[in-house]
């Protein structure tokens, strides 16, 4: 029996160039380009000429649009596997923000947390969605300049983690409104979390 060939394709390869989304009810033109049936119909309804939106090939008569059943099946399968498999963990590339909690080869951060002042890959971000301790945390798109963020009140670098208020503070905050709170150096807090989460 032949081993099933592994096809490494992503949904990006089945994108309609009109709506820029994954093809729905794909139809293929003679020039070889495919579009969502609805997108192409609307496109032609609004234009004087029937041409391919991608390569501008003009058709003398409006072609009858038949759904590309093979392409439709491929996309259906692809959507199923995309939903059932966890998102791929990507190692950091140029321009990426790396996860502060990965040891060894760093994965790409998917979010930065302004409360922890740290960036997280998909795996290390999970507790933020599941654990009660992280419920109120402010998650933003990965930010490479997190370390340079300053305290809004005192314009000092955020070097302390206030465990009582679960937030990053500067040294002056620590002596004023956070006086008497349980505090640790931010690096110590990061180390603690890194160790408690284990390795991936």
Q: Give me the CATH number covering residue 175.
A: 3.30.160.60
pLDDT for 36 beyond 70 = yes
CB 28 within 8 A of CB 20: no
Number of domains observed in the structure of the chain: 2
81-91 per-position pLDDT tens digit? 665 555 555 77
Cβ neighbours of residue 135 closer than 8 Å, sequence gap 6 or more: none
Name the helix (H) or strand (E) containing 191: helix 186-196
Task: State mean pLDDT over 123-133.
Answer: 83
Q: Which is higher by pLDDT, 177 or 10?
A: 177
- Whether residues 143 and 69 fall in one domain: no
**Rounded CA Rg of the chain:** 25
Task: State mean pLDDT over 117-144.
Answer: 83
In 3D, which of 141, 186, 145 has the Cα closest to residue 166? 186
Identify whether 5 is part of a domain: no
Both tokens of 2, joined, read: 């032949």
10-19, 64-73, 106-115: the lowest-pLDDT one: 10-19
Q: Sorting pLDDT into bands at 50, 70 and 90, what band is 1? A: very low
Query: How much of the chain, in percent, has pLDDT values that exceed 70?
Result: 84
Q: What is the model's pLDDT at position 4?
A: 52
Give the CATH number, domain containing residue 22: 3.30.40.10
DSSP code per residue over 139-193? EES--TTGGG-B-TTT--B--EEETTTTEEE-HHHHHTTTTTS-EEEHHHHHHHH
Please state, as a whole number, how many other Cβ atoms lie within 10 Å of the Cβ of residue 195: 11
Task: State mean pLDDT over 110-118.
Answer: 84
What is the domain extent for residue 137? 111-196
CA pair distance 142, 138, nearest whole angstrom: 12
- Whether residues 119 and 188 fall in one domain: yes
> pTM of the predicted model, to two decimals?
0.39
């Amino acid at each position: 029996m032949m081993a099933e060939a592994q096809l490494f394709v992503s949904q990006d390869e089945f994108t309609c160039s009109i709506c820029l989304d994954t093809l729905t009810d794909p139809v293929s033109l003679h020039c070889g380009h495919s579009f969502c049936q609805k997108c192409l119909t609307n496109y032609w309804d609004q234009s004087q000429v029937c041409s391919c939106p991608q390569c501008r090939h003009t058709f003398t008569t409006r072609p009858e649009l038949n759904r590309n059943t093979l392409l439709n099946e491929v996309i259906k399968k692809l959507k199923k596997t995309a939903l059932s498999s966890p998102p791929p963990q990507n190692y950091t590339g140029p321009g990426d923000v790396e996860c502060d909690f990965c040891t060894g080869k760093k994965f790409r951060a998917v979010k930065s947390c302004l409360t922890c002042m740290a960036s997280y890959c998909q795996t290390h971000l999970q507790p933020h969605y599941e654990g009660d301790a992280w419920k109120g945390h402010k998650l933003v798109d990965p930010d490479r300049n997190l370390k340079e963020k300053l305290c809004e009140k005192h314009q000092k670098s955020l070097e302390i983690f206030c465990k009582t208020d679960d937030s990053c503070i500067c040294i002056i905050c620590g002596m004023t409104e956070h006086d008497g709170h349980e505090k640790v150096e931010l690096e110590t807090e990061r180390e603690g979390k890194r160790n408690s989460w284990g390795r991936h």
